[in-house]
Amino acid sequence: MSSRKKVLFITSNAHKVQEIQELVAAESRAITIEHLDYNCPELQLDTVEEVARESATYIRDRIAIKQPFFLEDSGLHIPALNGFPGPFSAFVFRTIGNEGILRLMAGQTGEDRTATFKTAVAYCESRTATPLLFVGTVKGRIAETARGTNGFGYDPLFEFRGKTFAEMSREEKNKRSHRSRAFMKFLTHIT
List the catalytic residue out of 37, 46, 61, 73.
73
The string of pLDDT tens digits covering residues 12-67 is 999 899 988 888 888 877 888 999 998 888 788 999 999 999 999 999 988 878 89
Active site residue 73: yes
Domain 5-190 sits in CATH at 3.90.950.10
Backbone torsions φ then ψ of 40, nearest 5 degrees: -65, 145
Instruction: Determine the straight-line distance between the first and last CA of the chain, rounded to whole angstroms.
Output: 15
Please report the pLDDT score of residue 2 as a whole number. 52
Dump strand ranges (E) for 50-187: 69-77, 85-86, 114-124, 132-142, 158-160, 163-164
Separation between Cα atoms, residue 91 and residue 183, nearest integer Å: 23
Separation between Cα atoms, residue 54 and residue 56, nearest integer Å: 5
